[in-house]
Chains A and B, each alone.
Chain A
Amino acid sequence: MLSQHTIRRRMAASTPLVLALGLLAFVLLATTMGDRATARMATETLIRVTLVAGFWIFVGNSGVVSFGHAAFACVGAYVSAWLTLKPAMKGTLLPGLPDLIAAADWPALPAVLTGGALAALLALVSGAAILRLSGIAASIATFAFLAMVNTIWANWTPVTGGTSSVVGLDRYVTPWVALGWAVAALIAASLYGLSASGLALRATREDEVAASASGIDRYRHRLLAYVLSAFFCGVGGALMGHFIGVINPDAYYLNLTFLMLAMLVVGGIGSLSGAVAGVLALSLAVEGLVRMEKGVTLGATTFALPAGSQEIIIAAAMILVLIFRPAGLLAGREITLPARWVTGRGTTHNGPATDRRET
């Protein structure tokens, strides 16, 4: 007889599978049923899943809100741009790059991976200082970090191009590439949540004092989650660049920070499924409203929302979620396979489709 706990562990392990299948269905629907704009929206949404799943690894498990993860996306995007742009272009656009990088002419995939890796390295160095602070102080320090990175990127013109855009990135991100990365991020996030370090980090989220009394070194686990989290945000940032083909520092600043936070909060910070649900809900809502701003034609008349109503409606929807469902749409639940599927034999459990997360 499997213990209740083992069954729940197995159900938790099925979460990335269920989420990946959901995203696969989403891509299939968007690419076969919709127009080009729908396919673009699907790709953009999947890139956001990568970003927000990465973001969740740290924020969801540690309970520390970070405002700094857009900076990791910024670093990932620029590193990938530096490595993939044609050397001739870099000579004129970014004359300050060191020779080695200026001569690089990498394909996109290794460049994206390197972008993620350097974002992770930056997280290791900055996190080593920031994560020694507790709770809200750490959050404020991440905001300062974001502002520092943005200021450097906007002013280091010979290397970053300053506030003007860097153009001509290889647009290699198709919906399928984006799906691959989103699934990779979900698997990594889920494995981290199931790991010893993930459990230890959630203990510090629940009660820092009791966690120390349990032998848990809060700093170490936070730093590990921060670095892993930054890797996927770096990758997500690079994918954004390779999707639109254009990057500039302000695309990775406050708007992106608050979009990622909003998605996490709307979906529910307490579970990975919540993070994904938040991305889908907000992306679809924004897409729908943008189309309505452009106008919907019914017969002879065209209805259109006034420009700017999209932002107002989204803001109002978020406030409503915060009031009526403060723990988010999924309220900390994970979407899993039903219990009777994961026990591997017939049992009498009537497994619910969602189970209160064991975390």
Chain B
Amino acid sequence: MVLALEQVGVAFGGFRALTEVSLAIPPGQVTGLIGPNGAGKTTCVNTLSGFQRPGSGRVLLDGADISALPAHRMRRAGIARTFQAGRLFGGLDVLDNLACTGVGLGQRRAEAEHAAQDLLDWMGIAALASRPAAGLPYTDERRVAIARALMGAPRFLLLDEPAAGMSEHEAADLAALIRRIAGERGIGCLLIEHNVGLVLSVCAQVVVLDGGRVIETGDRAAILASRPVREAYFGADQAEAA
């Protein structure tokens, strides 16, 4: 049970956002995706979740080619995601935000609300249930977005910069939550983050992108020791000096 990109290329006009990118997200653990701005991280998530069709290569779920599925079908196949901007349904309350995913996945409304309540309990944010989603504090908004993505027991969860703008303390709470999602629910997570410390602390495997290409794949030690990674982050001169 693996979600993978196989030799994926994506181009926007003349700009090649991704070139021959291959990566695999195994179940039950957290895979990190890091890289400088413009490296193609969000394009990877968009491709994995059906928002971007690959120009070449394939998206594979358990070996089956799912490249052509539209986004809502990808979600029903078990691939959930969050967005950098949160993108909650602002006019609906928190419970309904989660219930939307439930009904999107084919539940009746009462079932969806029941499941939503259970999930809010599991995340420890049940008190937010009847609050309008618009105007939630930033960290709560992020938690609700993750809860919404967890509805209907997805097999994979793609987290696009969930810690952006969080304090160290809040980021540590988030790291604990992500570990629980992978550990207790067996969900394969892909974590995109600029906070490299957070990524190295929770991820078993890390993929490093630069200029739309995978420049390194490995565990924490391998990433820290990698010369191409240091060049991408610090430039060739500093890498030389280090």
Contact = CB atoms under 8 A, between A and B. Distances in A.
A5 B151 CA distance: 18
B92 A215 contact: no
B95 A5 contact: yes
Contacts of A4: 129-130
Interface in B87-140: 87-93, 95-96, 99-101, 103-109, 112-113, 117, 129-130, 132
B87 A210 contact: yes
Using C-beta atoms within 8 Å of the partner chain, give the interface range for chain B: 35 or more
A69 interface: no
Interface in A338-359: 356, 358-359
Contacts of B51: 209, 212-213
A251 B220 CA distance: 73
What's the dominant secondary structure at chain A's contact region? helix
A347 to B, nearest CB: 15
Given A199-B96, A212-B71, 7 more contacts: A4-B129, A197-B103, A206-B92, A207-B87, A211-B89, A356-B132, A359-B92
A245 B79 CA distance: 57
B44 to A, nearest CB: 15
A88 interface: no
B92 A212 contact: no
A213 B93 CA distance: 18
B72 interface: yes
A332 to B, nearest CB: 8
B148 interface: yes
A279 interface: no
B54 interface: no
B99 A199 contact: yes
Contacts of A90: none
A185 B100 CA distance: 25
A214 interface: yes
B80 to A, nearest CB: 7
Contact of A3 (B81, B101, B117): B117
Contacts of B148: 214
Contact of A203 (B70, B92, B113, B117): B92
A194 B109 contact: yes
Contact of A216 (B72, B90, B129, B149): B72
Given A4-B129, A8-B130, A214-B148, A206 B72 contact: no
B93 A5 contact: yes
A170 interface: no
A229 B22 CA distance: 47
Given A200-B100, A356-B132, A213 B89 contact: no
23 contacts: A3-B117, A4-B130, A5-B96, A5-B129, A8-B93, A194-B109, A196-B112, A202-B91, A206-B89, A206-B90, A210-B83, A210-B89, A211-B89, A213-B71, A213-B83, A213-B87, A214-B72, A214-B104, A215-B75, A215-B104, A215-B105, A216-B100, A216-B101
A215 B129 contact: no
Contacts of B185: none
A203 B71 contact: no
Contacts of A216: 72, 100-101, 103-104
Interface in B24-74: 49-51, 70-72
Interface of A: 3-5, 8, 194-197, 199-200, 202-203, 205-207, 209-218, 270, 332, 356, 358-359
B101 A214 contact: yes
B212 interface: no
A199 B109 contact: yes
Considering residues A194, A199, A359, which has the most beta carbons from chain B within 10 angstroms of its beta carbon? A199
B221 to A, nearest CB: 34
B104 A203 contact: yes
B76 interface: yes
B42 to A, nearest CB: 13
Contacts of B112: 196, 199
Top 6 A-B residue pairs of the complex, sorted by shortest distance between their CB atoms: A215-B104, A206-B89, A4-B130, A216-B104, A215-B75, A212-B71
B188 interface: no
B109 A212 contact: no
A196 B103 contact: yes
B75 A212 contact: yes
B92 to A, nearest CB: 6
A214 B75 contact: yes
Contacts of B81: 213
A3 B129 contact: yes
Given A210-B83, A212-B71, A199 B103 contact: yes
B9 interface: no
Given A195-B109, A356-B132, A359-B91, A215 B83 contact: no
B105 A196 contact: no
Contacts of B49: 213
A316 B128 CA distance: 42
B152 interface: yes
